[in-house]
C-alpha cells in the first residue's frame, strides 16, 4: 500500500510563542511544586542522548525545532483508515530537512508486522542516510492457553521508515544545545508529569500558545501505559468504547518517553499532549501516569518549538481517543 503523498495533502504551519528558556524554567520551578514535592528546573546543555539510558539516534534536540502533527485519531476511530500510512524519511525530504531528527509518539507501521501497534518514534536522517531508533509495541497473547494479554516491543530496521494514522513529533536537527531540564520527585498532585508542565505553562502564558517536545526518563517507580491491539472491526463510538478496546499494563522504570505538548489548539485541531515510552527491558507503550507517586522520579529534557506543522488533518474531526 502506498504512503500518503505529502504534495497532495494539506500542510499548515503556525508559529508558537517562544519565551526565553530561562523564563520558562522559572515558571515551571514555581508551578510544578503543586504536583511534586521536589522540583528542580534549569537551562542546561543537552546531555548526549545517544548514551544510556536514552539511546537515541542523535545527540541533542536542537536546530530549528518545530512540532509536527500528522493525521489524527479520526483516522483510527470509529474505524481505521488503512490508507493513512506516512513515510517519515519522505517527510524530511518534503520539508527539505537534512540533518533531521523526529522523536515522539505515534501509531507504528502496521503493515510491517501485520497488526496495529504503538510507535515510539526516533528517526534521523543525515546526508540522506537513515538511522532508525523507533520501537514498536504490539499486543500479544501470553500464557499456556494464550488466554491473557501481554505485549512485545521490537526495534524497526532502517529500511522501515513508515508510521500510520497519527503522530506527534518534535522535528529538529538533533544537535546539542541549550534545553530545559526538569526534575520532579514524589508526586503529591493528581496530574501526570506532562499535564503538570502543560497546565503550568497554560496558566502563565494564557492565550500565547507554547509548544515543546523532547524526552523524559522515569528513573524510579512504575507507570500505567496502554498498547493498542489490532484494529477494531466494530465501530468505536465513545471514549468508553476506546477504553474497552485498549489494553492497559503497568510497566517499570527506567523508561524513556518521547513526545510533545502544546498549551493551545491554534485552530489546527492539535492534540494537547502525547508521549510514548520504551525500555531496554522490553516495556513500551502510551504514557498515562505513574502508579507509584511516592517513588516517582522524573527527569526531562525539552526544547521549545518555533512553530507547528499540521499535516493531513482529518476533515471530519472529533474528540475521541485523545487521552
Which residues lie near Zn ion (CB under 5 A)?
105, 286
Min CB(106)–Zn ion separation in Å: 7
Min CB(321)–Zn ion separation in Å: 9
**Closer Cβ to Zn ion, 76 or 171, answer by number:** 76
In the bound state, the residue with its beta carbon closest to Zn ion is 286
**Closer Cβ to Zn ion, 183 or 194, answer by number:** 194
Q: Are the beta carbons of 239 and 309 closer than 8 angstroms?
A: no
**Closer Cβ to Zn ion, 100 or 228, answer by number:** 228
Min CB(105)–Zn ion separation in Å: 5
Dihedral sign, Cα of residue 319, residue 285, residue 305, residue 199: positive
**How far, in Å, CA of 229 to CA of 115, rounded?**
8
Task: Tell me how far CA of residue 19 lies from CA of 39, 41, 103, 270, 306, in angstroms.
Answer: 21, 15, 22, 20, 10
**Closer Cβ to Zn ion, 97 or 226, answer by number:** 226
Min CB(166)–Zn ion separation in Å: 8
**How far, in Å, CA of 220 to CA of 215, rounded?**
16
Dihedral sign, Cα of residue 41, residue 61, residue 323, residue 198: positive
**How far, in Å, CA of 50 to CA of 258, rounded?**
14
Q: Are the beta carbons of 137 and 286 closer than 8 angstroms?
A: no
**How far, in Å, CA of 245 to CA of 76, rounded?**
12
**Closer Cβ to Zn ion, 56 or 76, answer by number:** 76
Dihedral sign, Cα of residue 162, residue 127, residue 9, residue 264: positive
**How far, in Å, CA of 100 to CA of 121, rounded?**
13
**Closer Cβ to Zn ion, 50 or 195, answer by number:** 195
Min CB(255)–Zn ion separation in Å: 14
Min CB(68)–Zn ion separation in Å: 15
Amino acid at each position: 500500500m502506498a504512503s500518503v503523498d505529502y504534495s497532495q495533502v494539506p500542510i499548515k504551519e503556525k508559529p508558537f510563542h517562544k519565551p526565553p528558556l530561562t523564563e520558562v524554567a522559572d515558571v515551571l520551578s514555581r508551578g510544578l511544586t503543586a504536583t511534586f514535592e521536589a522540583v528542580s528546573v534549569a537551562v542546561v546543555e543537552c546531555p548526549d542522548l545517544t548514551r544510556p539510558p536514552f539511546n537515541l539516534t542523535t545527540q541533542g534536540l536542537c536546530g530549528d525545532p518545530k512540532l509536527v502533527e500528522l493525521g489524527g485519531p479520526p483516522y483510527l476511530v470509529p474505524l481505521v483508515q488503512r490508507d493513512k500510512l506516512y513515510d517519515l524519511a519522505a517527510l524530511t525530504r518534503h520539508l527539505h530537512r537534512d540533518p533531521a531528527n523526529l522523536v515522539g509518539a505515534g501509531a507504528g507501521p502496521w503493515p510491517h508486522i501485520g497488526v496495529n501497534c504503538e510507535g515510539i518514534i526516533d528517526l534521523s536522517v543525515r546526508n540522506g542516510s537513515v538511522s532508525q531508533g523507533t520501537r514498536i509495541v504490539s499486543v500479544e497473547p501470553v500464557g499456556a492457553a494464550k488466554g491473557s494479554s501481554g505485549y512485545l516491543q521490537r526495534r524497526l530496521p532502517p529500511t522501515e521508515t513508515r508510521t500510520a494514522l497519527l503522530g506527534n513529533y518534535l522535528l529538529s536537527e538533533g544537535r546539542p544545545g541549550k534545553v530545559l531540564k526538569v526534575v520532579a520527585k514524589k508526586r503529591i498532585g493528581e496530574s501526570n508529569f506532562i499535564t503538570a508542565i502543560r497546565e503550568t505553562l497554560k496558566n502563565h502564558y494564557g492565550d500565547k500558545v507554547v509548544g515543546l517536545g523532547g524526552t523524559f526518563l522515569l528513573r524510579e517507580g512504575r507507570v500505567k501505559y496502554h498498547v493498542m491491539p489490532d484494529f477494531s472491526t466494530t465501530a468505536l463510538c465513545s471514549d468508553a468504547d476506546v477504553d474497552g478496546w485498549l489494553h492497559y499494563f503497568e510497566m517499570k522504570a527506567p523508561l524513556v518517553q518521547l513526545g510533545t505538548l502544546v498549551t493551545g489548539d491554534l485552530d489546527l485541531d492539535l492534540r494537547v499532549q502525547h508521549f510514548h515510552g520504551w525500555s531496554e527491558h522490553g516495556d513500551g507503550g502510551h504514557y498515562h501516569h505513574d502508579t507509584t507517586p511516592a517513588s516517582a522520579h522524573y527527569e526531562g529534557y525539552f526544547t521549545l518549538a518555533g512553530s507547528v506543522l499540521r499535516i493531513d488533518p482529518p476533515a471530519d474531526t472529533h474528540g475521541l481517543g485523545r487521552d
